[in-house]
């Protein structure tokens, strides 16, 4: 295996400022827009009751668009092949709540939901960054078997400045009964391409915004709040390339559920071969964090899981829906268990 380290790539892309000299966040201006996501569909009669185990999953499905105005590579054949492949993995995970990233619009998630053996009765999608939500192809969606008590997108599109976070964060709340609420955050943070201190600042600023939102929810809640964050953080805290990276510091009190696991068990983005310039080492970018009451009885978070299939590792240039390639990421999940008194 030819090893091309992330740090080498960053050093080539970052311009001028040594990492060691840039330990404070770049700033942004403006206010975060709080708005409910768009309802894609709702079939309350098909809702399932909350049991003693709730499974929450996340999947960065890679450029899942509806094919309308998406260029010649996004053919109907590739869209349907990607949907069928993703549906097979999603059906196998059998999550109660599923967060998706890199989805374009309602039409796209309807294509995916129709491909499932067990379609979800509820679906919502964000409208990040634009007055016309159809213009944004990097939205997040929530598919659920339970009705939501509250849904909110924390939209960063109206912020400005070099430290402005990308996209936004999607939040979904669910009633677990007996005064307990599950709050799930879905995130897709800034990539590692470009100026490294800026990338870290943008990720850190996004996490500061989310952590503040979570504290506000806990403060106003009359019951217990089980907090989960699932997302593509573009950070693997245990990889040497991320030593000194402060992206996730705002939630350092939360439990990072991949911490301490061997790399082969926690790899969520594998090496793809075929072009040496694009061959990066495997990493665990799709992280799962537990906060609030999710680590104390009666509801306790379990070990994370990853379904390591759906990536064409032999051809880094294979497009989603082509040659068995679904996404460059593996889907991940975690169970929240209700323990007996």
Report d(CA 43, CA 280) in Å as an integer: 43
Domain boundaries, the chain: 6-17+30-338
Residue 6 predicted with pLDDT over 60 = no
Report d(CA 69, CA 116) in Å as an integer: 25
Average pLDDT over every residue of 201-213? 98
58 with 99: CB under 8 angstroms?
yes
Q: Cβ neighbours of residue 297 under 8 Å, at least 6 residues apart?
A: 339, 341
Mean pLDDT lowest for which of 14-18, 149-153, 234-238? 14-18
Report d(CA 112, CA 79) in Å as an integer: 9
| CA–centroid distance for 43 within its chain | 25
Residue 262 predicted with pLDDT over 90 = yes
pLDDT tens digit sequence for 18-68: 444 346 899 999 999 999 999 999 999 999 999 999 999 999 999 999 999
Report d(CA 290, CA 37) in Å as an integer: 23
Give the CATH fold of the 6-17+30-338 domain: Deoxyribonuclease I; Chain A (3.60.10)
Q: What percent of the chain has pLDDT over 70?
A: 91
Model confidence at 1, pLDDT cuts 50, 70, 90, reads very low
Residue 148 predicted with pLDDT over 80 = yes
State the pLDDT at residue 129: 82
Read off the pTM. 0.93
Model confidence at 341, pLDDT cuts 50, 70, 90, reads low
What sections of 170-245 are H helices per DSSP? 196-220
Report d(CA 87, CA 333) in Å as an integer: 15
Nearest residue to 50 via CA among 216, 289, 288, 298: 298
128 with 41: CB under 8 angstroms?
no
DSSP for 63-74?
Answer: EE--STTS-TTS
Average pLDDT over every residue of 225-246? 96
Model confidence at 116, pLDDT cuts 50, 70, 90, reads very high
Mean pLDDT lowest for which of 4-18, 130-144, 177-191, 270-284? 4-18
Instruction: Report the chain's mean pLDDT, rounded to a whole number.
Output: 91
DSSP for 219-238?
Answer: HH-SSEEEEEEEEE-S--TT
Q: What is the largest CA-CA distance in the chain?
A: 58
């Amino acid at each position: 295996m030819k090893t091309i380290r992330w740090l080498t790539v960053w050093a080539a892309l970052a311009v001028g400022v040594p990492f060691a000299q840039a330990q404070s966040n770049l700033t942004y201006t403006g206010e975060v827009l709080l708005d409910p996501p768009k309802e894609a569909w709702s079939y309350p009669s098909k809702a399932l009751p909350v049991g003693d185990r709730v499974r929450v999953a996340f999947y960065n499905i890679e450029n899942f668009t509806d094919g309308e105005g998406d260029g010649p590579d996004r053919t109907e054949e590739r869209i349907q092949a990607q949907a069928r492949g993703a549906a097979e993995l999603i059906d196998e995970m059998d999550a109660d709540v599923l967060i998706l990233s890199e989805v374009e619009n309602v039409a796209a998630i309807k294509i995916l939901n129709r491909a499932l053996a067990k379609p979800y009765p509820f679906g919502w999608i964000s409208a990040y960054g634009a007055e016309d939500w159809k213009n944004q192809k990097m939205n997040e969606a929530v598919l659920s078997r339970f009705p939501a008590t509250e849904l909110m997108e924390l939209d960063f599109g109206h912020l400005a400045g070099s430290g402005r976070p990308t996209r936004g964060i999607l939040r979904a709340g669910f009633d677990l009964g007996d005064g307990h609420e599950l709050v799930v955050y879905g995130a897709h943070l800034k990539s590692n391409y470009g100026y490294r201190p800026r990338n870290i600042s943008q990720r850190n600023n996004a996490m500061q915004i989310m952590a503040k939102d979570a504290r506000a929810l806990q403060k106003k809640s009359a019951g217990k709040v089980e907090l989960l964050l699932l997302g593509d953080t573009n950070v693997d805290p245990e990889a040497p390339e991320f030593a000194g990276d402060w992206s996730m510091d705002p939630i350092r009190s939360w439990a990072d559920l991949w911490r301490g696991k061997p790399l082969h068990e926690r790899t969520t983005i594998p090496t793809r071969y075929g072009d040496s310039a694009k061959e990066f080492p495997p990493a665990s970018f799709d992280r799962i964090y537990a906060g609030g009451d999710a680590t104390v009885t009666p509801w306790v978070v379990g070990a994370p899981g990853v379904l390591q299939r759906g990536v064409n590792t032999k051809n880094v240039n294979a497009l989603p829906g082509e040659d068995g390639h679904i996404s460059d990421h593996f889907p991940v999940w975690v169970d929240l268990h209700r323990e007996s008194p």
